[in-house]
Amino acid sequence: MTAPMLEIDDLTKRFGGLVALDRVTLDFEPDVLHAIIGPNGAGKTTLFNTITGMLKSDSGTVKFRGTDISGMAPHRISRLGMSRSLQIKSVFDSMTVAENLWIAAQASQGVMHPFANRSRFGRTAERVDRILELTELERLRDTPAGTLSYGDVALLEIGIALATQPSLLLLDEPICGMGPAETAATVEKIRHLAESVDIIIIEHDMPVVFDLADRITVMAQGGVLARGAPEEIANNAAVREAYLGEEEEDDEPDA
Amino acid sequence: MKARIDRTVLLAVLALLIVAPWLLQSMELEFWLDILAEVLIWSLFAASVNILFGYAGLLSFGQALFFGMGMFGVAIGIAKLGLGFWPALGLGMAVAVGTAAVAGALAVRLTWHYFAIITVVFSLIFYFIALSAKPLTGGDDGTSFSMPAMLEVGDFELSLTDQTVQYFFILSVVGAAYFLKFLIVKSPYGMALMAVRENDTRASLIGLNVYFLRWTAFVIAGGFAGLAGCLFALFGRYASATYMFYHVSGEGVVWTIIGGAGTLFGPVVGTALLIVVREELSNMWEHYPILVGLVVILTVIFAPKGLMGFWNALLDRLTQPPADRAAGGEPHEPREEAAAVQVRGKDRP
Ligand SMILES: Nc1ncnc2c1ncn2[C@@H]1O[C@H](COP(=O)(O)OP(=O)(O)O)[C@@H](O)[C@H]1O
Ligand SMILES: [Mg+2]
C-alpha cells in the first residue's frame, strides 16, 4: 500500500448552522484516478474549497504529500503543486487565452520579475504552447478569455490549472457546459493526463464517472457515504438509495 | 505596423517636448513652458493612479496623500532641515514611500469601494494633521523655501531657477518614471498585477500572493505620486496641505480615466487635455467642471479604455486587412454543440 498523497482528517466546515463538511476523514492514494460524487449540496465543492485554502475549516487537518496544509494560504498550497479548476468557471476575462496560461505558468515558478520583459521567459512560453496544444485552444490563442464559448472556458480552466505544473489536479465538474463531442474529447484528455498527474474529479455525469474513475467516493450531507471501485459503488445499496436512484433530478449545475 | 505608428508618434511627441523651450520662445509663448512642466508633473501623478486602478484594479482616491508627503518632504527638508537639493529629494521620496508602505499594508486588505473609502480617509487624516502641525508644515500658509543649487562645480552652478533647466529636469525625471512604468507593465510582475485585477480568486489559486502584489503596487504607486509631489514642490518652491486634499486625488482619477486607465500613456493624454482645457476654459466659464464630469461619465460608459482606447481601436481598424474586419475579428469555427453562452466568471461583488 503506497502512502496517501492527500490525507484529510476529521475535517469540519460549518456555514452558520449548516454543517457542510461533517468530520470528513479521507485518504487519497497516488497514481489512481479518483472521483467524488454525491447529490447537490453534499459538500463536494466545499471539500475542494477547504483543501485548497479558499475556505478555512473549523477543525481538522489536511496533509498534502506529508505537509500539513491546514490553514495555509491558497497561493502557498498552489505552489506546493496542488491546482484546481473551479465549478463556477472563472478565468482572467480581459486577458487573452495565451496570457491566461502564461501567467499561470509563470506564477508557479514564483518569479515575478518587475522589470524584465515577458518575452525573455522562454520556458514559460514553451509551456504555454504545450498547453495550448493539449487543450486544443491554439486557434483561440489571442482571443480575450471573456469572449469564449462556455465549453472553451471550461477547457481554459483546465489549461490554467495545468499550466501551474501541478502534481495533484482537482477538477470540479470540468465538463459541465460542454456538448457531447467536447465531453468525449475532454474525458480522453483527462484520462491521458492522469498518467502524469494525480487527479481528483468531482463530476455528476454518472456515465463519465464510471468510465473514468478507478476509485469513487460518494458524499452525502457533508459526510462520506461510501468508497470503492466503480463496480462496488454501483452495487452498494446505500448509495443506490441515497443517490443513484434519484440521479435524473440532478442535472441542474449547482453553485 | 501598428507598433510602428505608435513608436513614430511617441518619438515625434518626445522630439517636440525636447525642442519645446526654443519652439515656445520663438513663438513668444514662454509661459506655456511652465504649463507644459506642470502637465508633465501631473501626468506622473496620474500614472500613480493608473498603476493602482488601471493595472492592479484598486481605485484610490487618496494618491494626493503621497503627493503631499513628497512635497512636504522636499519643502521641510530644505526650509527647516537645511538640506541640499538631492538630499531633500531623497527625503521627499522616503517619506512618501514610507507612508505608502504603512498605509498600503492596511488599505490593500480591502477592495472595491471599501478600498476607495479607506484611501480617502487616510488622506483626510493626514490633511488635517498637516493643517494643524503648524510649526512643521506652516499650517494654512504652507512651507516655502528658496531653491538650492542642483549642481555646483567651482563657479559653475546648475539650478532650477533657470526656467529651461527646470523644464529639462522635470522632463527627464518624468520620462525616466514612465520608462520604469513601461518596464513594469511589460514584466511578469505587471502581468501578475493584471491577473489580480481580473480575478483575485483565480490569481491566488495559480500561486500568486494577491495581498503582497497589491501592497507592492500600492508602494510603487505611492512612489510615483511622491516623486510628482517632490517635483511640484521644487517647481513651486513650496508645499501646502491643499495638495493633500482628496479633490486633488480625484483629479488624478479623472485624468487617468479620460486618457485611458490600464494604458501606458493614457494618463499623459488625459492630464494634458484637461489641464489645457482648464487653462483655456476656466476663465471663460466658471462651471466648466460640469463639462468635465459629463465627459468622465460618458467615458466610463462608452470608452472604458479612454482616449487611448479610441486611438488603439482606430489604429486596429486602419491596419487590419479589410477581410478580417468583415469577418468580425476572430475566425470562429462553427461548432453545433458548443453553447454560445458567454461565460463570465464573476464571483465578486
Ligand atoms: N460560501 C458558502 N456560504 C454558505 N453556504 C455555503 C457556501 N458554500 C456552500 N454552502 C452550502 O454548503 C452546502 C454544500 O455545498 P457544496 O459544497 O457547494 O455542495 P456540492 O458541491 O456537493 O453540490 C450546500 O448546502 C451549500 O448551500
Ligand atoms: Mg459543487
Q: Which DSSP string do the residues of A64-77 spell out, in sequence order?
A: ETTEE-TT--HHHH
- Would you place residue A246 in the very low, low, confident or very high pLDDT band (cuts 50, 70, 90)? low
Spatial contact of A86 and A74, defined as CB atoms under 8 Å apart: no
C-alpha A49 – ligand 1 centre gap (Å) = 10
Q: Which residues of B touch A (CB under 8 A)?
A: 180, 183-184, 186-192, 194-195, 198-199, 201-210, 213, 330-331, 333, 335-345, 347
A89 contacts B206? CB cut-off 8 A: no
pLDDT recorded at residue B322: 58
A113 contacts B188? CB cut-off 8 A: yes
From chain B, the residues in CB contact with A83 under 8 A are 205-206
List the domain boundaries for chain B: 25-149+157-245
Q: Does residue B53 have a pLDDT over 90? A: yes
Q: How high is the mean pLDDT of chain B?
A: 87
A170 Cβ closer than 6 Å to some ligand 1 atom:
no
- Would you place residue B85 in the very low, low, confident or very high pLDDT band (cuts 50, 70, 90)? very high
- Would you place residue A250 in the very low, low, confident or very high pLDDT band (cuts 50, 70, 90)? very low
CA B89 to chain centroid, in Å, comes to 19
* Secondary structure (3-state) at B214: helix
Q: Does residue B224 have a pLDDT over 50? A: yes
Strands A215-220 and B156-158: unpaired
Q: How high is the mean pLDDT of chain A?
A: 90
Q: Which of residues 61-100 of A touch B (CB under 8 A)?
A: 73-75, 78-79, 83-84, 86, 88-95, 99
What is the average per-residue pLDDT within B44-68? 95
pLDDT, tens digit (0-9, with 9 covering 90-100), for A148-162: 998 899 999 999 999
- So what's the ipTM on this one? 0.90
Q: Does residue B348 have a pLDDT over 50? A: no
Query: Which chain B residue is nearest to residue A120, measuring alpha carbons?
Result: B187
**Could you say which of A103, A148, A164 has the minimum Cβ distance to residue B192?**
A103
A143 Cβ closer than 6 Å to some ligand 1 atom:
no
Nearest alpha carbon to residue B49 among B219, B317, B261: B261
**Could you say which of A84, A113, A114 has the minimum Cβ distance to residue B205?**
A84
Nearest alpha carbon to residue A172 among A136, A219, A137: A219
What's the rounded Cα separation, in Å, for the pair A146 and A18?
34
The pTM of this model reads 0.89
pLDDT, tens digit (0-9, with 9 covering 90-100), for A202-243: 998 888 999 999 999 999 999 999 999 999 998 888 888 776
Nearest residue by C-alpha to atom 7 in ligand 1: A15
What is the average per-residue pLDDT within B293-318? 85
Nearest residue by C-alpha to atom 25 in ligand 1: A41
CA distances from B321 to A77, A141, B314, B328 (A): 46, 19, 13, 12
pLDDT recorded at residue A158: 93
pLDDT, tens digit (0-9, with 9 covering 90-100), for A99-115: 999 999 999 877 788 88
Q: Which DSSP string do the residues of B164-211 spell out, in sequence order?
A: HHHHHHHHHHHHHHHHHHHHHHTSHHHHHHHHHHH-HHHHHHTT--HH
